[in-house]
Amino acid sequence: MIKTDIIIIGAGPVGLFTIFEAGLLKLRCHLIDSLPQAGGQCSEIYPKKPIYDIPGFPSILAGELIDNLMEQAAPFKPGFTLGEAAVTIDKVSENEFIVTTDKGTKHSAPIVMIAGGLGVFEPRKPPIENLASYEDKGVEYIIKDPNFYRGKRCVIAGGGDSALDWAIYLAKNNIASEVSLVHRRSSFRGHLDSVQQVMDLADDGKVKLITEAEVVGIGGNGKVENVVIKHKTEGEITKDTDHFIPLFGLKPSLGPIADWGLEIEKNAIKVDTTDYSTNIPGIYAIGDVNTYENKLKLILCGFHEGTLAVQSAFARIHPDKKNVLKYTTVNGVTGF
Ligand SMILES: Cc1cc2nc3c(=O)[nH]c(=O)nc-3n(C[C@H](O)[C@H](O)[C@H](O)COP(=O)(O)OP(=O)(O)OC[C@H]3O[C@@H](n4cnc5c(N)ncnc54)[C@H](O)[C@@H]3O)c2cc1C
């Protein structure tokens, strides 16, 4: 059981900045995110795009903003459970919630802050009849640890950056013993540089490029042993493989958050704007995941919401202590 003061569900920019504001009040945070890395939409959707409306930064790449937020939070030693979705919240006593993930990891704290943004990013899955029965038995939708594929034969499907980048990484670093990239069209959607790298690796025989084709079936006894690829001109080909990795992107959905007894309006959690608390005392909702009159889904608004929410959390955790606002210019930042 992981114990902390505040469990933050969602490690997007808002969850990350909340670690810092909580740390100033000597409150520890542990973050849970279904994605394998921190940063939410900034890391997952647009890491290389410049953002122009972060106060004090005329322009900053979304990925850089996340690096800075991680650095700013570091003195307060946050904990992370990444690559796991929070699926249940149980109130076990007046001052204790237990949040459990889809992998069974349990977290306990008196306060839960939901910073879940647009929700859990779910993989887009290809329409293959028996796909679900091979999940985690050779079918993976996210590559969490490339070393998992060391010495293995991998069939990657997709035409975007994720499919291209992983095909390059697994082949170039001699991790997988064989890399095949299957794509429906003859051209790719990813960065030109990545497309060129894949072409070069294909010329060197390090990536087997199978275009104008799609994986339509999976075979194997209890685990993936082969895939059936339907080619535009050549018909169906059965290809032996250890892994089938469809990388067709991720789509957000509110997911389990919708079932936690919270007041939901327009696919978002209703909050009281005095402290961003929800209808369940001890649970707060900050950032894109909440809704209230005049809500703006902007990073700077989420930073403000997290800041006010931790003040309220402090009062709940320490009802007998008075918190006096201290400027960081006066007190500096003293980590844990
Ligand atoms: C292309 C694009 C450009 C943008 N440009 C700007 C801009 O210029 N300026 C600006 O201010 N904003 C911009 N935004 C919006 C901005 O990215 C969001 O407002 C911001 O990311 C919200 O941060 P967040 O931390 O609330 O949520 P998110 O960034 O969405 O992060 C939420 C995290 O919660 C996780 N999560 C959700 N549910 C669960 C669960 N049950 N268990 C575990 N994890 C969970 C998700 O995996 C995700 O990582 C842009 C958005 C996009 C898509």
Q: How far apart are CA 3 and CA 276, in angstroms?
A: 23
Ligand 1 pocket member 121 (CB < 6 A): yes
Residue 297 CA: nearest ligand 1 atom is 19
CATH of the domain at 15: 3.50.50.60
Q: Sign of the CA dihedral 91, 111, 101, 335?
A: negative
Ligand 1 pocket member 46 (CB < 6 A): yes
Residues 86 and 103 in one domain: yes
Ligand 1 pocket member 118 (CB < 6 A): yes
Q: What is the mean pLDDT of each run of 10 residues along the chain (336 residues)?
A: 97 98 97 94 86 96 97 98 95 95 97 93 90 95 88 97 93 96 94 94 97 97 97 95 94 86 93 98 97 97 98 96 90 91
Ligand 1 pocket member 42 (CB < 6 A): yes
Ligand 1 pocket member 288 (CB < 6 A): yes
CA of 239 from ligand 1 middle (Å) equals: 38
Res 246: pLDDT: 97
Ligand 1 pocket member 252 (CB < 6 A): no
CA of 12 from ligand 1 middle (Å) equals: 6
Res 214: pLDDT: 96
Residues 254 and 113 in one domain: yes
Q: Please list, in sequence order, all residues whose beta carbon lies within 8 angstroms of the beta carbon of residue 224, skipping any fewer than 6 positions away.
A: 134, 137, 138, 139, 218, 241, 242, 243, 244
302, 115 Cβ separation under 8 angstroms: yes
Residues 8 and 43 in one domain: yes
CB atoms within 10 A of CB 278: 22
Residues 11 and 108 in one domain: yes
Q: How far apart are CA 111 and CA 98, in angstroms?
A: 10
Last residue of a domain, one of 246, 271, 295: 246
CA of 298 from ligand 1 middle (Å) equals: 9
Last residue of a domain, one of 219, 246, 273: 246
Ligand 1 pocket member 32 (CB < 6 A): yes
CA of 258 from ligand 1 middle (Å) equals: 17
Cα 140 to its chain centre, rounded Å, is: 15
pTM value is: 0.76
Last residue of a domain, one of 184, 218, 246: 246
Q: How far apart are CA 53 and CA 58, in angstroms?
A: 7
Residues 207 and 255 in one domain: no
Ligand 1 pocket member 305 (CB < 6 A): no
Residues 7 and 107 in one domain: yes
Residues 137 and 76 in one domain: no
Where in the sequence is the domain holding 290, given as residue range(s)?
A: 2-121+250-331
The answer to whether residue 37 sits within a structural domain is: yes
Ligand 1 pocket member 116 (CB < 6 A): yes
Res 249: pLDDT: 87
Residues 258 and 302 in one domain: yes
Q: Under the phi-then-psi rule, with left for phi > 0, alpha for psi from -120 to 50, and beta for the rest, what region is 197?
A: alpha
Residues 227 and 130 in one domain: yes
CB atoms within 10 A of CB 173: 11
CA of 166 from ligand 1 middle (Å) equals: 23
Q: What is the total count of domains within the chain?
A: 2
CA of 305 from ligand 1 middle (Å) equals: 14
The answer to whether residue 336 sits within a structural domain is: no
Residues 242 and 145 in one domain: yes
CA of 297 from ligand 1 middle (Å) equals: 9
Q: Is 9 helix (H, G, I), strand (E, B) or coil?
A: strand
CA of 188 from ligand 1 middle (Å) equals: 26
Residue 14 CA: nearest ligand 1 atom is 25
Nearest to 288 by CA among 6, 9, 7: 9
Rounded to 10 degrees, the C-alpha dihedral 115/118/123/129 comes to 120
CA of 15 from ligand 1 middle (Å) equals: 10
Residues 306 and 322 in one domain: yes
Ligand 1 pocket member 13 (CB < 6 A): yes
Residues 65 and 109 in one domain: yes
Ligand 1 pocket member 299 (CB < 6 A): yes
Q: How far apart are CA 107 and CA 259, in angstroms?
A: 18
Q: How far apart are CA 33 and CA 201, in angstroms?
A: 34
* Amino acid code (one letter) for 140: E
The answer to whether residue 111 sits within a structural domain is: yes
